């Protein structure tokens, strides 16, 4: 009889222990899981990878409905969020879209930027992740950034026998939008009618200008401009040391290959200048052709922490 009582008490105790243990496990929350993000750049500008670059991440709990921004540092193929962010413990997802450079996000999910020709605007596709489907370093879970602006570099071809004496005093691009608005839900850029000029080259007063080499002059550097826009060039050539003899060209229309400059594409703007000093000079022709993204000689499109060769500083 005593043994049965002991066995009964033991069984009750074991059952209570299991119940308490089970409840304790259910009541103890799991450790939060930090969000790790992986990244890359789809096309090239001054560099093709990030190096300790500040970026921003628009975040929402549903697709396209961004309610806050996270800050992070992008290095190579990963973004370190500052501060650390965690997946929702209820298993719901977070919807993220990365952009560069950092800028405050308006309540309507738009960003405003001022352009001077040096800025590189980058945007990733939207990705979503959760505890059960986290962001990964491969596949469709990366934040891959693409360039939104159009890259222009410039080359001048001179025909005739004037090559030894003629030099380029200045070259200016007209038509750059001073302000642009980026809508994060659609990834589209919008801008008003106000534009600003961009100096491609300007010779100091005590200098003769840039010379042609066998009738060709490749201007150093490049500029980044809004896509699908109309541009013109102003150019001044020197004939001799007397500036009153300079040849000035205004409002030379830039004609894009295919009809318009595409975002994320790079173009060479070619100015064809036939015998400008002859009695009846022929019209100047300005055309563009698509080229590969290449590192340039200026700071245009430069991502902080990198030099123009793509090597880390």
Return the CATH number at 175. 2.60.40.2630
The residue with greater pLDDT, 111 or 282, is 111
Whether 171 maps to a domain, the answer reads yes
Statement to judge: residues 124 and 164 lie in one domain = no
Whether 276 maps to a domain, the answer reads yes
Statement to judge: residues 159 and 259 lie in one domain = yes
Whether 48 maps to a domain, the answer reads yes
Q: Which of 14-28, 70-84, 217-231 has the lowest mean pLDDT?
A: 14-28
Check pLDDT > 80 for residue 288. Answer: yes
Whether 7 maps to a domain, the answer reads no
Check pLDDT > 80 for residue 108. Answer: yes
Q: Burial code of 106-143, b = ≥16 C-beta within 10 A, e = fewer?
A: eeebebebebebebbbbbbebbbbbbeeebeeeeeebb
Q: What is the DSSP letter of 259?
A: G
Where in the sequence is the domain holding 196, given as residue range(s)? 150-290
Statement to judge: residues 77 and 206 lie in one domain = no
Statement to judge: residues 215 and 193 lie in one domain = yes
Whether 97 maps to a domain, the answer reads yes
Find which of 13-17, 23-27, 246-250 is predicted with most confidence, using mean pLDDT: 246-250
The residue with greater pLDDT, 34 or 17, is 34
Q: Specify the number of domains making up the chain.
A: 2
Average pLDDT over residues 282-310: 53
Whether 10 maps to a domain, the answer reads no
Give residue 161's pLDDT. 65
Instruction: State the Cα torsion 47-52-58-62 to the nearest 10°.
Output: 90
Whether 14 maps to a domain, the answer reads no
The residue with greater pLDDT, 95 or 207, is 95
Q: What is the pLDDT of residues 241-287, one digit of tens each?
A: 888 888 899 999 998 876 667 888 889 999 998 877 665 566 788 88
pTM of the predicted model as reported, rounded to 2 decimal places: 0.79
Statement to judge: residues 163 and 276 lie in one domain = yes
């Amino acid at each position: 009889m005593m043994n049965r009582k002991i066995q009964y008490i033991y069984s009750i105790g074991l059952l209570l222990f299991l119940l308490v243990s089970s409840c304790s496990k259910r009541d103890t929350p799991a450790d939060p899981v930090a969000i790790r993000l992986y990244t890359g750049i789809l096309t090239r500008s001054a560099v093709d990878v990030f190096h300790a670059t500040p970026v921003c991440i628009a975040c929402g709990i549903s697709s396209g409905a961004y309610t806050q921004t996270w800050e992070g540092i992008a290095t190579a193929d990963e973004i370190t969020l500052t501060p650390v962010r965690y997946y929702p413990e209820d298993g719901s997802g977070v919807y993220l879209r990365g952009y560069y450079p950092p800028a405050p996000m308006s309540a309507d999910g738009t960003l405003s930027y001022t352009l001077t020709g040096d800025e590189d605007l980058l945007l990733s596709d939207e990705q979503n992740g959760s505890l059960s489907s986290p962001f990964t370093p491969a596949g469709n879970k990366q934040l891959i950034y693409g360039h939104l602006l159009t890259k222009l570099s410039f080359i001048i071809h001179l025909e005739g026998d004037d090559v030894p004496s003629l030099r380029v005093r200045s070259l200016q691009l007209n038509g750059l939008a001073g302000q642009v608005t980026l809508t994060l839900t659609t990834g589209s850029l919008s801008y008003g009618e106000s534009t600003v000029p961009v100096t491609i080259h300007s010779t100091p007063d005590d200098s003769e200008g840039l010379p042609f080499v066998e009738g060709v002059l490749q201007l150093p550097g490049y500029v980044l401009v809004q896509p699908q826009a109309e541009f013109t060039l102003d150019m001044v050539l020197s004939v001799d040391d007397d500036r009153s003899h300079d040849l000035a060209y205004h409002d030379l229309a830039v004609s894009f290959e295919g009809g318009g400059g595409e975002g994320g594409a790079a173009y060479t703007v070619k100015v064809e200048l036939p015998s400008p000093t002859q009695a009846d000079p022929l019209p100047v022709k300005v055309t563009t052709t698509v080229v590969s993204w290449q590192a340039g000689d200026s700071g245009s499109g430069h991502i902080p922490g990198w030099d123009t060769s793509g090597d880390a500083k």
